[in-house]
Every structure is written in C-alpha cells, then in structure tokens.
Amino acid sequence: METGFNEGAMLQAMEREGLRRTRPRQALVAQVAAWGREGVDFTADGLWRAVRRQAPDVGRATVFRTIETLTSLGLLDRISFADGAERYHASVPGAHHHHLTCDICHRVVNIEVCVPDDKLRDVARRAGFTLSGHQVELFGRCARCQAQA
C-alpha cells in the first residue's frame, strides 16, 4: 500500500524541481514523512523543535522556508484554524480529500466526504462566481482524547 509519506519520494519530488538535497532539508522531510505516516500534524515551531533533536543547528528560518517549499509542491497541507493558528500535515499530492482534526491532540485524518462537484458548481454559478477551489474541514474529538476526558 502506497502511503506517499516516504522520505525518498518527497526528496525526489524536490530534486525534480531543481532543489538541492541538503542536510537540513533531509532532516525536515524525514520528520514530516514520519509524522505523515502516524497521521499527526504539526506547527512550524513543533517541526523545528523535533528536527533540532537530530540536527541541532537547523535554523528557524530554514524550517519556514522548507515548509513553504513543501506546501507549494503540494507535499504539505496547511490547515488554518478559526483562532488563526496554522498547522501542517503531509499530503499525498493530487489526492482530493479533506480533513477531520482532533480539537485536543490535533491528530488529522483524511476523509473522503465532499460536496458533490455539480452541486458546488451549481451554487457558484447561481451566485455568478467561477469556482477556483473549496475546502471542507471537520473538527471533533478523537477516540483517545474522548476516553481521557
């Protein structure tokens, strides 16, 4: 089963863009891929702290720059919370899916629920809009956090 949350595949995707395979980028991608496999998401700062355990001199700026790169390559999804917080999680490029996020531990599950395409377009057309994108985010409490409460 192909998960896509695989360090090598992600680095290859970067290489294809002419980006260099550097030590900080490898460490960051490894962490992102690991978390992707566990279905865990993270903040920029969390990623920095985690990566520093293995590569202590990776700078904060590099983390932001790499997150930006990965996001625009479609390897990372950005989730914006209503309170303005931003979190990220590894993404299978090209797959159409949305997210279900735990309010407590921020575990993220990809879900296939979506509004049917024709309905989306219909609503947009009625408002005189040309649709460019959409997002569906569900929030709740995962089994583990539910049990602990």
Instruction: Return residues touching a copy of itself (CB under 8 A).
Output: 78, 80-82, 84, 86, 100, 102-103, 109, 111-115, 119-120, 123-124, 127-143, 146
Q: Cα(118)–Cα(126) distance, rounded to whole angstroms?
A: 12
- Binder of residue 24, out of DNA, a copy of itself, none (CB less than 5 to 8 A by kind): DNA
- Binder of residue 16, out of a copy of itself, DNA, none (CB less than 5 to 8 A by kind): none
Name the helix (H) or strand (E) containing 119: helix 117-126
Give me the residue label for tokens 């695989």.
6
With CB under 7 A as the contact rule, the residue among 3, 38, 54, 59 that binds DNA is 59
* 76-95 residues near DNA, rule: CB under 7 A: 84, 86
Judged by CB under 7 A, which stretch of 53-61, 109-117, 119-127, 131-139 contacts DNA?
A: 53-61
CA torsion 42-44-49-50 (nearest 10°) is: 40
Q: Which two tokens stand for residue 86?
A: 């931003």
Which residues neighbour 55 within 8 Å (Cβ) at sequence distance 6 or greater? Answer: 23, 24, 27
Give me the residue label for tokens 């891929």.
33
Which residues neighbour 102 within 8 Å (Cβ) at sequence distance 6 or greater? Answer: 108, 140, 141, 142, 145
The CB-of-84 to DNA minimum distance in angstroms stands at 7
The CB-of-149 to a copy of itself minimum distance in angstroms stands at 10
Give me the residues that bind DNA (CB under 7 A), please.
15, 18-25, 43-45, 55, 57-62, 64-66, 68, 84, 86
